[in-house]
Amino acid sequence: MTTFADLGLPRPIVSVLAQQGITSPFPIQEAAIPDALAGKDILGRGPTGSGKTFTFGLPMIARLAGSGASKPGRPRGLVLAPTRELAIQIQQRLDEPANAMGLRVLSVVGGVNINNHIRQLARPVDILVATPGRAQDLVNQKKLSLSDATLTALDEADQMADMGFLPQVKKLLALTPDNAQRLLFSATLDGDVNKLVSRFMHDPVTHSTAPVQASVDTMKHYVFFVGEREDRNKVVLRIAAREGKTIMFMRTKHGVDRQAKKLRRAGIPAMGLHGDKGQNTRSTTLQGFADGSVSVLVATDIAARGIDVHDVSLVVHVDPPAEHKAYLHRAGRTARAGEAGSVVTLVMNEQRDEVAKLIDKAGVDAETIDISTDSSPAHNRTLATITGAQSPTGVALPEPGQQQQSAAKPQSKQPRGKSRSTSARSGQRGRGASSSNKPSRNSNSRRRSR
DSSP string for residues in 359-391: HHHHT--EEEEE-TTSSSGGG-HHHHHHH----
Instruction: Give the span between the Cα atoms of 323 and 436, in whole angstroms.
Output: 66
pLDDT for the residue numbered 417: 43
**Helix, strand, coil fractions of the chain, as percent rounded to 5:** 40, 15, 40
E strand residue ranges, 261-338: 270-273, 296-299, 312-317
pLDDT for the residue numbered 210: 54
156 — pLDDT class (breaks 50, 70, 90):
confident
Q: How many CA atoms lie within 13 A of 4 on its CB side?
A: 25
Dihedral of the alpha carbons of 73, 77, 83, 84, in degrees to the nearest 10: -50
Instruction: Give the span between the Cα atoms of 138 and 298, in whole angstroms.
Output: 32
The per-residue pLDDT for range 243-253, each reduced to its tens digit, is 999 999 999 99
Cα 117 to chain centroid, rounded = 20
Q: What is the mean pLDDT of the chain?
A: 85
**Whole-number percent of the chain with pLDDT over 90:** 61
The per-residue pLDDT for range 139-154, each reduced to its tens digit, is 999 999 999 999 999 9
The CA–CA distances, whole Å, from 337 to 25, 48, 185, 188, 219 equal 11, 10, 17, 19, 11
For the segment 189-202, the average pLDDT, to the nearest whole number, is: 84
Query: What is the residue extent of each domain of the chain?
Result: 11-208, 219-395
Cα 236 to chain centroid, rounded = 22
Task: Give the other-Cβ count within 10 Å of 333's Cβ.
Answer: 24
pLDDT for the residue numbered 216: 53
pLDDT for the residue numbered 139: 97
377 — pLDDT class (breaks 50, 70, 90):
very high
Helix or strand (DSSP H, E) at 301 = helix 301-304
Q: Measured at the alpha carbon of residue 366, what is the angle toward residues 251 and 345, in degrees to the nearest 5?
A: 25
Q: In what order do the strands lie in the sheet with 105-108?
A: 105-108, 127-130, 77-80, 151-155, 181-186, 42-45, 205-208
pLDDT for the residue numbered 249: 95
**Whole-number percent of the chain with pLDDT over 70:** 82
Among 350, 378, 381, 355, smallest CA distance to 368 is for 355
pLDDT at 396 over 60: yes
Among 219, 89, 110, 93, smallest CA distance to 163 is for 110
The sign of the dihedral angle between the CA atoms of 117, 121, 127, 128 is positive
Burial 82-119, CB ≥16 within 10 A → b, else e: bbbbbbbbbbebbbebbebbebbbbbbbbbbeeeebbe
Instruction: Tell me which range, 101-110, 159-168, 411-420, is most confidently predicted by mean pLDDT.
Output: 101-110
The sign of the dihedral angle between the CA atoms of 276, 281, 286, 292 is negative
pLDDT at 68 over 90: no
DSSP string for residues in 120-135: HHTSB-SEEEE-HHHH
Q: Measured at the alpha carbon of residue 197, what is the angle toward residues 211 and 360, in degrees to the nearest 5?
A: 25
276 — pLDDT class (breaks 50, 70, 90):
confident
For the segment 206-218, the average pLDDT, to the nearest whole number, is: 60
pLDDT at 213 over 80: no
- In the CATH scheme, what is the code of domain 11-208? 3.40.50.300
* 279: exposed, middle or buried (Cβ count in 10 Å: 0-12, 13-18, 19+): middle
The per-residue pLDDT for range 23-61, each reduced to its tens digit, is 899 888 999 999 999 999 999 886 666 688 999 999 999
Instruction: Give the span between the Cα atoms of 151 and 64, in whole angstroms.
Output: 8
The CA–CA distances, whole Å, from 352 to 154, 248, 346, 356 equal 36, 19, 10, 6
pLDDT at 427 over 80: no
Instruction: Give the span between the Cα atoms of 49 and 332, in whole angstroms.
Output: 7
The fold of the 219-395 domain, in CATH, is Rossmann fold (3.40.50)
Whole-model pTM: value is: 0.68
The residues, any chain, with a CB within 8 Å of residue 446's CB and separated by 6 or more, are 424, 425, 427, 430, 440
Tell me if 77 sits within 8 A of 64, measured CB to CB: yes
pLDDT for the residue numbered 402: 60
Strands 205-208 and 151-155: unpaired
Confirm whether 11-208 and 219-395 share one CATH topology: yes
450 — pLDDT class (breaks 50, 70, 90):
very low
DSSP category for residue 409: S
pLDDT at 414 over 50: no
Tell me if 52 sits within 8 A of 96, measured CB to CB: no
The per-residue pLDDT for range 304-343, each reduced to its tens digit, is 666 777 788 999 999 999 888 788 878 878 866 557 789 9
Reduced to 3 states (helix: H, G, I; strand: E, B; else coil), residue 205 is: strand
pLDDT for the residue numbered 45: 81
Backbone conformation region of residue 396, classed left if phi is above 0, alpha if psi is from -120 to 50, else beta: beta
- Backbone φ and ψ for 88, nearest 5 degrees, come out as -65, -40
DSSP category for residue 330: H
The per-residue pLDDT for range 80-137, each reduced to its tens digit, is 999 888 899 899 999 999 999 999 999 999 888 999 999 999 999 999 999 999 999 9
